[in-house]
Chain A
């Protein structure tokens, strides 16, 4: 059974596209990254999976349960961290956590206490007095305190300082090792690259790539950086070219032989050829999609 399985999931808001034909498979136990810039449809996908909005077409199962028919059952086993957590003014963090636990008919006080300690969140504070980061922490505890089988996190680190981000990802990795599936939506690529094993890239409402993070990084393109000069104008497959008087750097996805002869023809004093990082891959998918679209 897969943790998340969507088939041709499509959502239109009237005539405006939310997502189109999203087919995803997230295996149980995966640490899955869902990457895309703002407005690509990440939140729309997540909200559809959670039953907040109804799909226009297509279907999806979460933990083997149909998103329309078994909404409550799947929500009972899922923890959700919204990108912008909102609480009722006047409530204390403790009350919010208690309300969330009561709605799940579970006593989560022990786990909640541990999470608050680790995230340094004062549960006696009123929610409207909390900073953005602390509000996020309260939402994190809500999403985690009932030990869900699946965690769906929408832009989880916005507002958290770097130390807290590290603690948060430590917690996520511990949970993941213990068997929890983590579905992490983000536009911050290093976050996905460091933590996720698999990822999908969403662009303008469509999945443009899906695979292991390693595979996605291995697109055949290489990052070439050289010191000196080389005649690059005639080369095919050069992108993102940056040239200064002394240095040149570019992404290369063409044949190796012409590259080597171009480099040999020039005056190259130093050379590095490396796999591009996910940031560059991301740009690659976007640039390509842009050219097609």
Chain B
């Protein structure tokens, strides 16, 4: 547990800042809803007339005037993007950061196996993502209660984003084992690319298959609200990818030369 504790201490500031920023944006948006509600009908029509962009954010199928619709779209952007960035970041820097800074040498000249270093680092990544999601969910539920609204699908929506973050973190953890330093750009780039793939998939029929490529596909608020459930196949595929990333990390890192 020594390494887990050490990792959590090292990542504390980043976790606080990212969680704080996401909670802040989410809560601000929720509190804006009552004020916007009256004007929503007009806004809804405006948004509905934006063609491709309306579809990109699922606003052709969700009613922006209802709280559920509003939250599913807003949540999708704030929590989806923010959470994805954070998960990609902690995953991709978990191992590479140590090598770039030379601290891997410190860790690995102590009597700890590489498997243990990896397992504890992975545990720390998962704990950070878990803690962030719990805090965000709590803040979200409290602020929704404060404005007197409710959403039946809220747990499902948050679960979807949690799974998305796990998938990204697992893949990025795998990438991290192959890097010698940094990796921030790769992590953020990957998260952003997957996000835009989903927007494209929503906009054009011919690119709809992209929904199964990107984890944002199974986080689509409109689908979740429509179906009242997550789409099991892409979720399962995503989890397999995450596990493959983790397996790759173990396979690579246990044999890697540390300079």
Given contacts A84-B102, A88-B103, A99-B6, contact A53 B259 (CB under 8 A): yes
Judge whether B2 is part of the interface by a CB distance below 8 angstroms: yes
Judge whether A253 is part of the interface by a CB distance below 8 angstroms: no
Stretch from B107-115, B130-138, B219-227 at the A interface: B107-115
B6 pairs with A75, CB closer than 8 A: no
Find A104's partner among B105, B108, B110, B257 (CB 8 Å cutoff): B110
A47 to B219 alpha-carbon distance, docked (Å)? 46
| Residues of B in contact with A, size category | 20 to 34
Chain A residue numbers with a CB within 8 Å of B105 are 52, 82, 86
A87 pairs with B111, CB closer than 8 A: no
A88 to B98 alpha-carbon distance, docked (Å)? 9
Find A54's partner among B3, B107, B108, B257 (CB 8 Å cutoff): B257
A86 pairs with B255, CB closer than 8 A: no
Q: How far is the CB of B124 from chain A (nearest CB, A)?
A: 13
User: Which residues of A in the span 41-78 have a Cβ within 8 Å of any Cβ on B?
Assistant: 47, 50-54, 71-73, 75-76, 78
A52 pairs with B109, CB closer than 8 A: yes
Chain B residue numbers with a CB within 8 Å of A100 are 106, 110
B2 pairs with A103, CB closer than 8 A: yes
A73 pairs with B111, CB closer than 8 A: yes
Chain B residue numbers with a CB within 8 Å of A104 are 110-111
Q: How far is the CB of A88 from chain B (nearest CB, A)?
A: 6
User: Which residues of A in the span 78-132 have a Cβ within 8 Å of any Cβ on B?
Assistant: 78, 80, 82, 84-88, 90, 99-100, 102-104
Q: How far is the CB of B102 from chain A (nearest CB, A)?
A: 3
A103 pairs with B101, CB closer than 8 A: no
Judge whether B258 is part of the interface by a CB distance below 8 angstroms: yes
Find B10's partner among A13, A86, A88, A103 (CB 8 Å cutoff): A88
Find A86's partner among B2, B103, B111 (CB 8 Å cutoff): B103
B101 pairs with A71, CB closer than 8 A: no
Q: How far is the CB of B115 from chain A (nearest CB, A)?
A: 10
Q: How far is the CB of A60 from chain B (nearest CB, A)?
A: 16
Q: How far is the CB of A126 from chain B (nearest CB, A)?
A: 14
A71 pairs with B6, CB closer than 8 A: no
Given contacts A86-B102, A86-B103, A87-B106, contact A52 B111 (CB under 8 A): no
A177 to B136 alpha-carbon distance, docked (Å)? 60
Q: Which residue of A lies closest to B116 (CB)?
A: A72
Q: How far is the CB of A45 from chain B (nearest CB, A)?
A: 14
Given contacts A52-B105, A52-B108, contact A71 B113 (CB under 8 A): yes
Q: How far is the CB of B258 from chain A (nearest CB, A)?
A: 4
B108 pairs with A103, CB closer than 8 A: no
Known pairs A80-B109, A104-B110 / 10 extra A-B pairs, C-beta < 8 Å: A53-B257, A53-B259, A54-B255, A54-B257, A72-B111, A84-B102, A86-B106, A99-B2, A100-B106, A103-B111
Enumerate the 7 nearest inter-chain pairs by beta-carbon distance, A residue then B residue, closest first.
A86-B102, A76-B111, A103-B110, A53-B257, A75-B111, A102-B2, A72-B111
Can you show 25 pairs from A to B with CB atoms below 8 A apart?
A47-B259, A50-B109, A51-B108, A52-B108, A52-B257, A52-B259, A53-B259, A71-B113, A73-B111, A75-B109, A75-B110, A75-B111, A82-B102, A82-B105, A84-B102, A86-B103, A86-B106, A87-B103, A88-B6, A102-B2, A103-B2, A103-B110, A103-B112, A104-B110, A104-B111
